[in-house]
């Protein structure tokens, strides 16, 4: 069956078919040349730029890369620790923090990064950690968007709890703070730093350079993911300065001395008092206490006059405590016989000036141990009159009365001695110098001179530091030192006389069963600008122990005690006895007379 197909009607037009082939037309040569030149210029520019970056600008690019890759940590400026002779902490730096708030960045952990927390929400979480009302924190922040100091002096434990909160917009800034764990115990010699960490007194000021840690800015390079790169560390970058300044002072003995001084100052309503203990072999100070004192942790609450150690910086006339030194001069000059005697009539006149004993009474013919025991001014004047005035002045000068002591104690000053022409031409000058007046020195200088008597005539340098030590290491006790000034036989003779003073005077209260101790009291008029102040006294006591093998000298000075019966024996000696008792125990000194000690125990 044939299939029929539709047919196009007659007269219908055929559809027009368009060709999709674009005819190729020749490109003008000038256009090809322009494109070629443009590409060549671009490649040339890139090549020049690459050459510039790799050859000329390489240093700048490396600097920018290091700035991105390198993290620098600036040092906090910490200071070295100070310890006593046994390693007890005296001064140290502790890390403290300042808390800054930036309210425009407040965000809690887990929040959307774009979410901003209100200040009251942050304050409510901080209040419990800082132990302050949230209202106080809100008031501090106010409406400021950033840079708000919320709190300072935050301890490390509190700072760690703040970090655990994880609050964005809180910033902890670390800084060091100087702490003095012993309070007022060493304030007179160590000093303090002010709120700007500038040393103001004591060793903090005089040894400032030694107390500054050797710190460098820590620089570390990191990779793109923050991993530390070892090549970024320079030699010594991780060095830790653990040096400590070790003192010669003993905190235990210092505590005993300061407490005894405080009690005696209050009892006698005195102006001030000081106690010094020196190792006569090498000049180490085991105690240098004074009262009143101050707390360096709260220095702003105290009178600035307390910030100086007066026993090192203030002059006074030593009085009778200088008599043993004068007798040593007379023996050295062979002007007196150690077994000789002298007549004490109670008074005499020198150059028109009357001189009396303290009780205005004579003692007759007495030997030199008795001269010290009764503290006879008249006998001392007659004994020292046998020494030529030129030689007397020479010895006072040679012993350094008018020169600054060689010491590391800050602020130490020289004493005052009359000029040689005046001393030698006016008889009254050597006369009053014979019993310790008419010239002045510091208690520190007097301790040094008495140490010279005890150690066989060597003038040692008083000092309170042993130097810098690493970590927990402590320096050993140094050996004997000092310049030989007096003959050892002379000093042994005088030490024996001073032992007689203690043995013959039960009322002095210095005798300790089993131990040989020497001593001398002093009660001198106090002078100001060359004029003696009526009724103003300065009392003192100096002791040596043990006499058979001298190791320590103890000096106690009490300034302006008030009331009746104010003498060195009643005011200063009781303090010295407490210090001596503690010294015997702490230094474990063996008794010189064990049988006497055993007898004392039996009698008890």
Would you name the residues annotated as active-site residues? 320
Gap between the Cα atoms of 531 and 270, Å rounded: 20
Contact at 8 Å (CB) between 226 and 559? Answer: no
Q: Residue 343 pairs with which residues in a beta bridge?
A: 365
Q: Is 19 strand, coil or helix? A: coil
Q: What is the DSSP letter of 483?
A: E
Contact at 8 Å (CB) between 459 and 382? Answer: no
Q: Is 416 strand, coil or helix? A: strand
Gap between the Cα atoms of 212 and 215, Å rounded: 9
Helix (H) or strand (E) holding 428: helix 428-434
> Is the bond leading into 318 cis (omega within 30 degrees of zero)?
no
Contact at 8 Å (CB) between 423 and 466? Answer: no
323-332 and 443-454 helices, crossing angle to 10°: 50
Residue matched to tokens 């040679």? 398
CB atoms inside a 10 Å sphere around CB 256: 23
Contact at 8 Å (CB) between 85 and 249? Answer: yes
Residue 268, CA atoms < 13 Å, CB-side half-sphere: 29
**Burial of residue 439 (number of CB atoms within 10 Å: 0-12, 13-18, 19+):** buried
Q: And the tokens for 163?
A: 């970090």
Gap between the Cα atoms of 523 and 318, Å rounded: 8
């Amino acid at each position: 069956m044939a299939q029929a197909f539709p047919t196009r009607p007659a007269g219908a037009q055929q559809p027009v078919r368009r060709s999709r082939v674009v005819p190729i037309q020749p490109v003008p040569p000038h256009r090809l040349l322009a494109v070629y030149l443009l590409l060549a210029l671009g490649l040339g520019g890139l090549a020049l730029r690459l050459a510039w970056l790799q050859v000329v600008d390489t240093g700048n690019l490396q600097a920018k890369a290091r700035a991105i890759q390198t993290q620098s940590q600036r040092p906090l400026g910490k200071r070295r620790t100070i310890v006593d002779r046994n390693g007890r902490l005296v001064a140290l730096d502790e890390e403290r923090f300042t808390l800054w708030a930036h309210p425009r960045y407040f965000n809690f952990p887990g929040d959307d990064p774009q979410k901003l927390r209100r200040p009251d929400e942050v304050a409510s979480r901080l209040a419990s950690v800082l132990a302050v009302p949230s209202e106080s924190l809100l008031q501090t922040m106010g409406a400021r968007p950033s840079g708000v100091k919320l709190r300072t002096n935050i301890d490390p434990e509190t700072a760690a709890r703040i970090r655990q909160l994880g609050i964005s917009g809180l910033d902890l800034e670390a800084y060091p703070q100087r702490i003095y764990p012993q309070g007022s115990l060493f304030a007179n010699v160590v000093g303090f730093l002010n709120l700007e960490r500038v040393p103001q007194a004591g060793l903090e000021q005089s040894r400032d350079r030694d107390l500054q840690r050797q710190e460098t800015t820590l620089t570390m390079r990191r990779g793109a993911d923050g991993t530390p790169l070892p090549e970024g560390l320079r030699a010594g970058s991780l060095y830790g300065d653990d040096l400590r300044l070790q003192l010669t002072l003993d905190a235990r003995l210092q505590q005993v001395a300061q407490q005894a001084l405080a009690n005696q100052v209050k009892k006698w309503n005195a102006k001030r008092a000081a106690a010094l203990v020196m190792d006569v072999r090498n000049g180490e100070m085991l105690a240098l206490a004074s009262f009143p004192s101050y707390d360096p942790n709260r220095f702003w609450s105290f009178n600035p006059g307390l910030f100086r150690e007066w026993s090192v910086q203030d002059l006074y006339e030593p009085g009778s405590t200088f008599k043993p030194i004068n007798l040593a001069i007379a023996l050295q000059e062979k002007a007196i016989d150690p077994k000789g005697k002298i007549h004490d009539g109670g008074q005499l006149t020198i150059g028109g000036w009357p001189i009396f004993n303290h009780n205005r009474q004579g003692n007759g013919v007495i030997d030199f141990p008795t001269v010290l025991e009764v503290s006879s001014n008249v006998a001392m004047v007659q004994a020292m009159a046998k020494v030529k005035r030129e030689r007397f002045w020479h010895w006072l000068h040679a012993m350094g009365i008018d020169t600054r002591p060689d010491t590391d104690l800050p602020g130490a000053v020289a004493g005052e001695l009359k000029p040689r022409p005046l001393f030698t031409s006016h008889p009254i000058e050597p006369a009053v110098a014979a019993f310790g007046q008419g010239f002045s020195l510091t208690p520190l200088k007097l301790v040094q001179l008495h140490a010279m008597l005890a150690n066989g005539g060597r003038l040692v340098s008083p000092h309170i530091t042993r130097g810098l030590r690493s970590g927990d290491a402590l320096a050993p006790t140094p050996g004997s030192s000092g310049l030989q000034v007096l003959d050892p036989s002379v000093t042994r003779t005088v030490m024996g006389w001073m032992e007689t003073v203690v043995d013959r005077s039960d009322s002095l209260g210095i005798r300790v069963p089993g131990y040989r101790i020497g001593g001398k009291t002093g009660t001198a008029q106090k002078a100001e600008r060359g004029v003696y102040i009526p009724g103003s006294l300065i009392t003192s006591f100096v002791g040596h122990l043990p006499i058979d093998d001298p190791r320590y000298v103890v000096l106690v000075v009490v300034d302006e005690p008030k009331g009746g019966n104010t003498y060195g024996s009643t005011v200063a000696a009781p303090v010295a006895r407490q210090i001596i008792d503690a010294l015997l125990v702490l230094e474990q000194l063996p008794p010189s007379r064990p049988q006497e000690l055993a007898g004392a125990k039996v009698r008890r």
